[in-house]
Amino acid sequence: MTANQLIIDVSGVEKAFTLHNQGGASFGVLDNASLQVQAGECVVLHGQSGAGKSTFLKALYANYSVDGGEIHLRDGEQMVEITSALPRRIIALRRQTLGYVSQFLRVIPRVPTLEVVMQPLLDLGVDAALCEAKAKDLLQRLNVPERLWSLAPGTFSGGEQQRVNIARGFIVDYPILLLDEPTASLDAANRKVVVELIREAKARGAAIVGIFHDEDVREAVADRLVDIKAI
């Protein structure tokens, strides 16, 4: 993709939560939110806890629905409007175009770490040997010890699980990356690795929207800081 190409185009997004089983309590979170992100750009959302940063990110991933507005994401030549797209369109998008690294590792408990990391690339039909090589490389960079690769990550420490999560999130070269506090439980050395990974993604033209509460990471990767309340 060309630099400065528009990759993410959000306009007028409204989102409120209504808790029907708690007396119908309702609270708005996103109000007329808009954002444009270009290729190679990393936009960092900041704002208070509960202000809607995660909600916005999840809306971009189609994990959350929206009450109004539009979200266009670039998939090759097309701009896909995801709030009205068919489920299978979203699934296809998520496989090859749209990546998401959450705060918590959410995987099937019985699958070994290496397989967990390889899976997204395998799903794209890439040769297993290549997937394995890339997975190992990422795990090594993220300082996940080799003896853990054949074990399921369910019993790992929080930090270890998170690093597995990150490896899985970066194994595919997604053109769009959504990162929700990926460095939350990492030490300085590993935060550096994550910064490297993000920079590499930017260099290949990925558009990134992230939430980081570590100042040093923010400084290192952000092209723009955006207040969630202001969009």
Element containing residue 197 per DSSP (H, E): helix 188-203
* Residue 25 binds to another protein (criterion: CB under 8 A): no
Handedness of CA 80, 47, 213, 106 (dihedral sign): negative
Angle at 208 between CA 203 and CA 214, to 5 degrees: 100
Specify the stretch interacting with another protein by CB under 8 A; choose among 32-40, 55-63, 200-208, 213-221. 55-63
Rounded (to 5) percent helix, strand, coil in the chain: 40, 25, 35
Nearer to another protein, 38 or 54 (CB): 54
Q: Using CB under 8 A, which of 87, 129, 145, 230 touches another protein? A: 87
Nearer to another protein, 114 or 142 (CB): 114
Angle at 59 between CA 45 and CA 46, to 5 degrees: 10
Q: Using CB under 8 A, which of 3, 49, 88, 147 touches another protein? A: 88
Least Å distance, CB 152 to another protein, is: 11
Q: Which of residues 105-124 bind another protein (CB under 8 A)?
A: 108-111, 123-124
Q: Alpha-carbon distance 169 to 223, whole Å? A: 21
Q: Which residues bind another protein (CB under 8 A)?
A: 18-21, 58, 62-65, 76, 78, 86-92, 95-96, 108-111, 123-125
